[in-house]
């Protein structure tokens, strides 16, 4: 199996067959517009602009499971991101990433990379606090908060998982190595 075996919902009800992204490097992120990590959209957009012509795509899944920080509908979320952060990568449908209604793609992502490496004392302290706040993180491997990021190589293999505190620019070298 690989990420290419999944179909997900795009904004406005369309479907997105991930097999159509074969050969691209993917960064899959669960996001929220009212989160302390929301400014990461700026770095995500910078990476997208820099590498999209070389086969890099960002799959942005809004998620309201953590602190109800993505309360708007998909159009409101998209309008916010394009106005405030000038995002040009598309957003997919709002999903759950944990629990009985979790998106099957996320079940797969978590099975492939169940743990994220958390670098630095400050980030470790932040993640410990976040874990206590998360009501949907119930089992090992669950997503702890918004802006958990999965890096997928051109063959569809999930190669790394980055915690919410990881600034996307901090792992640009990982992306570049796969491009």
Catalytic residues: 35
Separation between Cα atoms, residue 65 and residue 55, nearest integer Å? 30
Q: With the C-alpha atoms ordered 142, 99, 166, 55, is the resulting torsion angle positive or negative?
A: positive
Which residues in 49-70 are b (16+ Cβ under 10 Å) and which e? eebeeeebbbbbbbbbbbbebb
Pairing of strands 56-62, 25-31: parallel
The Cα 159–Cα 137 span in angstroms is 22
Strand segments (E) across the chain: 7-9, 15-17, 25-31, 56-62, 149-152, 158-162
């Amino acid at each position: 199996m690989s990420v290419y075996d999944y179909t997900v919902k795009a904004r406005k009800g369309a479907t997105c067959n991930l097999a159509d992204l074969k050969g691209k490097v993917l960064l899959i992120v669960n996001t929220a517009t009212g989160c302390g990590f929301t400014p990461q959209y700026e770095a995500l957009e910078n990476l997208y602009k820099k590498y999209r012509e070389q086969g890099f795509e960002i799959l942005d899944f809004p998620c309201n499971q953590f602190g109800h920080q993505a309360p708007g509908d998909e159009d409101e979320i998209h309008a916010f991101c394009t106005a405030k952060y000038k995002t040009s990568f598309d957003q997919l449908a709002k999903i759950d990433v944990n629990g009985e209604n979790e998106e099957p793609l996320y079940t797969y992502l978590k099975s492939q990379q169940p743990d994220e490496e958390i670098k630095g004392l400050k980030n470790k302290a932040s993640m410990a606090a976040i874990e206590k706040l998360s009501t949907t993180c119930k089992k090992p491997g669950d997503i702890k908060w918004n802006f958990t990021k999965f890096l997928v190589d051109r063959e569809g293999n999930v190669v790394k998982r980055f915690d919410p505190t990881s600034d996307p620019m901090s792992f640009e070298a990982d992306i570049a190595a796969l491009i």
